[in-house]
A and B are shown apart, each in its own frame.
Chain A
Amino acid sequence: MQVSDIKKKASEMLLSGEVKRVIGWKKGEFDYDLTPATFESVEELEDFVYDGFCGANLSKYLIKESKKEGKTLVFMKPCDTYSFNQLLKEHRIVRDNVYVVAIDCEGKLDIDKIKSKGIKGILSVKEDGDEVIIDTIYGESKVVKGEVMLEKCLTCKSKEHVAYDESMAQGVENVSLDRFSEVAKLEAMTADERYEFWRGELSKCIRCNACRNVCPACSCVKCVFDNDASGVSAKSNANEFEESMFHIIRAFHVAGRCTDCGECSRVCPQHIPLHLINRKFIKDINTLYGEYQAGADVDSRGPLTNYTTDDLDPSDIFGGNK
């Protein structure tokens, strides 16, 4: 699967009039600062890119784009299709107005991790197998790809698409780590250690709302934290409690619907591993109600919206009072 094939597909569908617009990634000033974008003409597709920096999940843009007149072509990586399904399930996307083309993903890069290695003055970033070669004004650097991949890609849940109208994917071997191993590490901590860990991380929060606004599960028209009438609306964290509350409430709200797409952690300007909160919930849900992957399909009922008399009480597993 070549980028040129993807671009060709896009221009064909635009030219034939089958779709009115294409959602994809647009090249930036540097190799790494791609922007999600819509393309409405073949000329505009000149700037279309698909490479290691296309981490952004495009599915949430479909809430808006699928309500426009005419069909929208969207290219999706495997993990994006889970979010897509979940949004369909929640009736946020007009399915008939979307044409999904599945494309392969070999794991995306995290520019922040590259820069955290002290690499500055970046002129270009190229992938070469398991290596990433970064040319800078201070000289060339080489790093192992696994060290500079997005958190979400290190524990990729699948290389298989769960929704598409057409697939250009040729399949990629998934060699990622067990995504629950990180949760297990947190669980192994004492309560105090765990509290310290989260205090350290969440104290960095600037309450920019990037995690919420990028999250495909956060599709409320008006968030409770923006609603003055809710009594909990806030624009900034006044204290430690508020730093934690925002993220905990959000995790509860997306529990059972979070597909673990990892966008929250990707966009966090402070690199707080927010996905771990959600992933802990996913792990617990699996334990309590059986294996469940949000977004794997569009029809099943989510474990938290589907009461059965066989449901365990959390105390059956985790102890404590009923």
Chain B
Amino acid sequence: MKKISLSNISKLYEVISREYDLYAPIKKAGKVNFAKWTDGEEVVFNAQTVRSPKDMFFPQTMDLYSLKMQGKTVEVIDDRSETAPFVVFGVKPCDCKSFEVLDRVFLAEPVDTYYQNRREAGIIVGLGCSAPSESCMCASFGVDNTEPVADVKSYIVDGEMYLDAITDKGEKLLSLIAGLLVDADSTKVDEQKAKTKEINKKLPLQNLDMTRFTADNLNEIFNEEEWEGLSEACLACGTCTYVCPTCQCYDIRDFKTNDGVKRFRCWDSCMYSDFTKMSAGQPRNTQMQRFRQRFMHKLVYFPANNDGMYSCVGCGRCATKCPISMNIAKVIKKLGGKHND
């Protein structure tokens, strides 16, 4: 394990950003979001970013390819530029887990190379939690918030950042900054981990009962009357889906430019009424159905197709950001199992 004093850390950013695009939790206009680091930016590690780091791998909008049409001829141009190598700093363990979920979707055959290219180009520096919040549910989803699964794991204890490479990519990154790091033993980190584990025990949502969310109960849960009450105040906005690190539904659209057409994809939300609307019909007519779809997908459908893995990492963003404070914790408490009181 290596370490660096936080007072010296902007040097580390500087060295990394010479070789890579460096993304970090940066505070701008009062809010912390992952953004590209440039000298003078305020990096904040003790707050949760509003947007999740999925942005760096599955951006809100991205061009897929270009199309040209002249008379009756059509041309398809794959005009992607190579993804420049980049580093994402300060990714919390829940968010680290979200890449495992996204991989299940985008790296399953047929592979989505837009995502794959970014996954290969990206180096993730995870950051262990030391002060989880009441909205944290990661442990309920099998995430150990003291062990970020990433290329490098890091911890901040007493004004110092400890770093440990996990993968070859991580080794490569640490060798780039080796001159700034000194050897460290893990005593203080271990102490912090033990402390965090004690805090977890006091958090109300870290031990949710989800035993009922099985493929066998799919129809029974789908038909629950509780969905009506849970969804009644839903505004049909897309906040939960857009701040969610694992929501990956997208739309593909055309944008006409002066020089042909850009076919792009952008995030879409199952909360929106046009999500499933066709010229020929609409299978989800009510907000209850759309709301139900989101949680059924995360808690039942996705695990049914992915060896029991939930499409939720328990980050709690939906719990803090929903305009009507309806969230996955409330859904789980109503429908997840008997031991949720």
Contact = CB atoms under 8 A, between A and B. Distances in A.
B237 A35 contact: no
Contacts of A38: 232
A120 interface: yes
Contacts of B296: none
Q: Which residue of B243, B269, B323 has the most chain A CB atoms within 10 A of its CB atom?
A: B323
Contacts of B6: none
Given A137-B203, A200-B29, A269-B321, A236 B232 contact: no
A29 B329 contact: yes
B46 A208 contact: no
Interface residues of A, number: 47
A147 interface: no
Contact of A122 (B134, B233, B255): B134
A84 to B, nearest CB: 17
B236 interface: yes
Nearest to B135: A30
B169 to A, nearest CB: 29
Contacts of A29: 204-205, 319, 329-330, 333
Contacts of A208: 237-239, 241-243, 269
Interface in A73-131: 111-112, 115-116, 118, 120-123
B131 interface: yes
Contacts of A35: 233, 324-326, 330
B231 to A, nearest CB: 10
Interface string B29-60: 11101000000000000110011000000001
A272 to B, nearest CB: 8
A11 to B, nearest CB: 19
Nearest to A65: B232
A226 B199 contact: no
A45 interface: no
Contacts of A200: 28-29
A70 interface: no
Contacts of A118: 46-47
B133 A120 contact: yes
Interface in A15-54: 28-30, 32-38
Given A28-B330, A235-B251, A235-B267, A56 B238 contact: no
A210 interface: yes
A9 B131 CA distance: 43
A115 B46 CA distance: 11
B78 to A, nearest CB: 19
B202 A121 contact: yes
B167 to A, nearest CB: 30
A267 interface: yes
A269 B134 contact: no
22 contacts: A30-B134, A33-B325, A33-B327, A34-B325, A35-B326, A37-B232, A38-B232, A61-B233, A120-B132, A138-B131, A204-B28, A206-B51, A206-B243, A208-B238, A210-B239, A213-B236, A214-B235, A235-B266, A238-B255, A238-B264, A269-B50, A270-B33
